[in-house]
Amino acid sequence: MNTDQLIDKAIQAALLAGSKIMEVYSSVDLEIEFKEDQSPITKADRLAHDQIVETLKCTQLPLLSEEGIHQPYAERKNWKLFWLIDPLDGTKEFIKRNNDFTVNIALIRENKAFAGVIYVPVSEEIYVGISGIGAWKYQSPARDTTFSSIQNHGQKLPLQTKYDEFVVMISRSHRNTETEEKIEEYRKIHSDIRFISRGSSLKICMVAEGNADVYPRFGQIMEWDTAAGHAIVKAAGKNIYHADEQTEVTYNKEDLHNPNFIVR
């Protein structure tokens, strides 16, 4: 399969997973359990994972998912092209029923975020980006939506937005001392500063859209949480850097935790 065909399958997988998620979201019992690290998992996480795996198996590429088996590094390190998946990014937001959750599917090439699909099931918005080609946002995609149709009918990112403030994305669920220190640095530089709080990968999407200038993240976060957003924001002409704001974040490390990073 060529890149467009692979992304078409990722779009299909994200939309089907989103449908599964919404079925659970509209039910009374989310079937919440807790993993060994005490992070929550719901029926929707499992159903979305199964759906994505089933849809992408025809691509014959390796797949690493938050909710799947995490292959040992000795095996993973030889992967040149693979899927990196978060079937339901923002499980805590899903449980709170505040609508800020997404389906994240990334295509990693040579340990870098190459292409990504993020679907927002509640608002029915989809973000798609391929490095070197561009990124788009598209509303209410049909089940058979393709990358070509999104390019032709979607909004190319970044959008032509105009605002006077310096806009900083902050997490709804994760804010610590290091984050506060970084915010104080921004306050010293920018006289007019505004903060927007969102959950899941939507913070990265806001930067890709051009509706925010920066998203600083200090603290534990996994590769599958950022990979799809990274590909999209990079395709939109921006990037995700280590805290030094110069070194691009990479993937498929032996330790699957991300470093502290800045999206800008």
Model confidence pLDDT, tens digit, residues 71-98: 999 999 999 999 999 999 999 999 999 9
- Domain 3-157: give its CATH code: 3.30.540.10
Distances from the Cα of 181 to the Cαs of 80, 134, 193, 202, 247, in angstroms?
38, 33, 15, 23, 21
- Residue spans in the chain of domains classed CATH 3.30.540.10: 3-157
pLDDT of residue 160: 79
* Ramachandran angles phi, psi of 125, nearest 5°: -110, 140
**Average pLDDT of the chain?**
95
- The CATH class given to the 166-263 domain equals alpha beta
pLDDT of residue 180: 87
Q: What angle do CA 40, 234, 205 make, to 5 degrees?
A: 45
- CB-based burial of residue 8 (10 Å sphere; 0-12 exposed, 13-18 middle, 19+ buried)? buried
Q: Distance between CA atoms of 23 and 121, rounded to whole angstroms?
A: 10
- Residue 189 neighbours by CB distance under 10 Å: 8
Residues of the chain with pLDDT under 70: 172-174
pLDDT of residue 163: 78
Calculate Rg over the CA atoms of the chain. 17
Q: Distance between CA atoms of 85 and 46, rounded to whole angstroms?
A: 12
- Residue spans in the chain of domains classed CATH 3.40.190.80: 166-263
Question: For 216-261, what is each residue's pLDDT tens digit?
Answer: 999 889 999 999 999 999 999 999 999 999 999 999 999 999 999 9
pTM of the model: 0.96
